[in-house]
């Protein structure tokens, strides 16, 4: 193991030949592996087996509501109570809805564009508006922004959260910045969790726009891989303390707790925001799927059981993360051609190639049958300015397939990196030929 940059060209060319042989071998295997999305694996889904069947033909909620019938746009009382406890809010500060937290976000933004956020401020659609996008981030957040023509400003995501110096500066100056996308815990894809200080600063910062909103997608709130997870400071409490009680919408779901294709989603916020939202949602629908809510509450009974359930998830997926991290460490550890995250939870490993290499790596892997998340997807408009971030989603494939996929991936990373280094050297020597007197450029 050695720093690729220090190897001479001949050695690199030799390695390139060997790696190309390996790559061709992979190609001949006709792989068809998909690692593009953060999907739970079947064993994880099996943890919730019997959830629906457990209704056992008894369909009434604790307040007597027949969950098979119309009504109750805010969700069942017992569902609101359960997820309020888990999210650290009050039951009247939450709406439990259908199976898609993304839909809750999408629809909230649509309503803000039409009507503004509080009945006093102007509708967002009346002027071009902007959202801050800590990146790398979640492509579906960025897709919603782009869909609604909201200009996205990329904010560097650091180890403790978004670059708050930059965020504070921008929101203080620009009245058209109306929101920020945040995945505050085990962030997608970087895995970082916002520090207390970052949460406090987000809650307290002065914004030029009085209708600025934080879209707090706490998708991985309970999705820890370690026994001693980093706690996340309660942003709703922080916002109340900072006298900005309506600033934040918190989203979460059971997509990666029970069923990604048949779970529950929720939004939590101030009573003020929730009351308004409930009224608006009552125009859209008579109510969510309440039987699914009842089934979930019956299945879990209490918050503690949800936490225990999440430990079972961790037991299934931790070995997958370990495998990936071990392979990366063993095979790329000292080569200085890549860096990657070592997440304490969530669904992703964020991998950074040398600048300008991510797209090629993803393409090479795809050509050999392993589909990764599109390079660039983790940045606004799908454009990674340095073309180096790749999101690795290790949860879905079985360990054996994951190993194969990662072996291939690591070959691709090395091949593209070597090519990149060699091209850099060629360019340097060409520059010497064309600018023989510019000695500073001679390597």
Which residues sit at the interface with a second copy, rule CB under 8 A? 37, 39-40, 42, 45, 48-50, 52-53, 55-57, 59, 66-72, 98-100, 102-103, 106-107, 110, 113-114, 125, 140, 143-144, 147-148, 255, 259-262, 280, 283-292, 295
Shortest distance (Å) from residue 229 CB to a second copy: 24
Q: How far is the CB of 146 from a second copy (least distance, A)?
A: 9
Nearer to a second copy (CB atom), residue 244 or residue 290: 290
In this complex, which beta carbon is closest to a second copy, that of residue 218 or of residue 395? 395
Contacts of 320 (CB under 8 A, 6+ apart): 394, 395, 397, 399, 402
Nearer to a second copy, 140 or 158 (CB): 140
Q: How far is the CB of 313 from a second copy (least distance, A)?
A: 14
- What is the rounded distance in angstroms from the CA atom of residue 243 to the CA atom of residue 234? 15
Q: Which is nearer to a second copy, 253 or 352 (CB)?
A: 253
Question: What tokens does 261 get?
Answer: 């294709």
Quick check: 137 and 378 in contact, CB under 8 A?
Answer: yes
Phi, psi dihedral angles at 323 (to 5 degrees): -60, -50
Enter the tokens of residue 354. Answer: 């040398």
Nearest approach in angstroms of CB 288 to a second copy is 7
Least distance to a second copy, CB of residue 124, Å:
12
Q: Rounded CA gap, 168 and 285, in Å?
A: 38
Structure tokens at 209: 């726009």
- Give the residue with the Cβ less far from a second copy, 22 or 140: 140
Which residue lies nearer to a second copy by CB, 91 or 263?
263
How many degrees, rounded to 5, is the angle at CA 82 between CA 80 and CA 87?
A: 90
| Collapsed DSSP state (helix, strand, coil) of residue 115 | helix
How far apart, in whole angstroms, are the C-alpha atoms of residue 7 and residue 16? Answer: 12
Q: Which is nearer to a second copy, 286 or 383 (CB)?
A: 286
Closest among 74, 134, 128, 135 to 104, alpha carbons compared: 74
The least CB distance from residue 228 to a second copy, in Å, is 30
Residue of 94, 64, 78 whose CA lies nearest to 297: 78
Residue number, 74 or 93, with CB nearest to a second copy: 74
Smallest gap from Cβ 49 to a second copy, in A, equals: 5
Q: Do 293 and 97 meet the contact criterion of CB atoms below 8 Å apart?
A: no
Residue by residue, DSSP assigns 225-240 as SSSSPPP---HHHHHH
Minimum CB separation from a second copy for residue 298, in Å?
Answer: 12
Are 412 and 369 within 8 A, CB to CB? no
Closer residue to a second copy in complex, CB, 161/287: 287
Q: How far is the CB of 55 from a second copy (least distance, A)?
A: 6
Other CB atoms within 10 Å distance of the CB of residue 7 = 16
Task: Quote the Cα angle for 312-317-318, to 5°.
Answer: 95
Under 8 Å between Cβ of 224 and 310: yes
Distance, CA of 93 to CA of 252 (rounded, Å)? 13
């Amino acid at each position: 193991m050695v720093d690729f940059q220090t190897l001479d060209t001949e050695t690199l060319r030799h390695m390139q030949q060997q790696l190309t042989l390996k790559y061709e071998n992979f190609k001949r295997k006709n792989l068809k592996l998909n690692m593009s999305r953060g999907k739970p694996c079947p064993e994880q889904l099996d943890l919730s087996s019997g959830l629906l069947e457990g209704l056992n033909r008894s369909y009434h909620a604790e307040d007597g509501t027949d969950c098979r019938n119309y009504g109750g746009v805010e969700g069942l009382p017992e569902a609101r109570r359960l997820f309020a406890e888990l999210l650290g809010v009050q039951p009247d500060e939450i709406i439990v809805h259908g199976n898609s937290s993304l839909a809750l976000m999408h629809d909230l933004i649509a309503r803000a564009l039409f009507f503004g956020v509080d009945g006093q401020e102007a509708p967002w659609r009346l002027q071009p508006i902007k959202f801050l996008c800590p990146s790398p981030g979640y492509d579906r957040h960025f897709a919603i922004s782009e869909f609604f023509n909201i200009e996205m400003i990329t904010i560097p995501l650091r180890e403790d959260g978004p670059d708050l110096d930059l965020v504070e500066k921008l929101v203080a100056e620009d009245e058209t910045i109306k929101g920020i996308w945040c995945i505050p815990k085990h962030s997608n894809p970087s895995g970082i969790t916002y520090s207390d200080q970052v949460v406090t600063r987000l809650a307290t910062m002065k914004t030029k726009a009085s209708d600025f909103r934080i879209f707090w997608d706490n998708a991985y709130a309970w999705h820890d891989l370690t026994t001693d997870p980093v706690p996340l400071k309660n942003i709703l409490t922080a916002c109340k303390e900072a006298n900005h009680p309506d600033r934040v919408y918190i989203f979460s779901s059971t997509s990666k707790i029970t069923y990604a294709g048949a779970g529950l989603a929720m939004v939590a916020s101030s009573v003020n925001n929730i009351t308004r939202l409930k009224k608006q949602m009552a125009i859209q629908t008579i109510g969510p799927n309440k039987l699914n809510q009842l089934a979930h509450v019956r299945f879990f009974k209490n918050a503690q059981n949800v936490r225990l359930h999440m430990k079972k998830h961790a037991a299934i997926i931790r070995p997958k993360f370990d495998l990936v991290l071990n392979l990366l460490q063993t095979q790329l550890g000292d080569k200085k051609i890549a860096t990657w995250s070592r997440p304490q939870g969530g669904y992703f490993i964020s991998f950074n190639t040398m600048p300008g290499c991510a797209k090629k790596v993803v393409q090479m892997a795809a050509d050999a049958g392993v589909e990764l998340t599109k390079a660039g997807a983790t940045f606004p408009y799908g454009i990674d300015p340095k073309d180096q971030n790749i999101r690795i989603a290790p949860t879905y494939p079985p360990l054996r397939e994951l190993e194969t996929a990662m072996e291939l991936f690591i070959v691709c990373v090395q091949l593209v990196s070597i090519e990149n280094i060699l091209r850099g050297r060629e360019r340097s020597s060409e520059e010497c030929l064309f600018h023989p007197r510019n000695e500073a450029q001679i390597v």
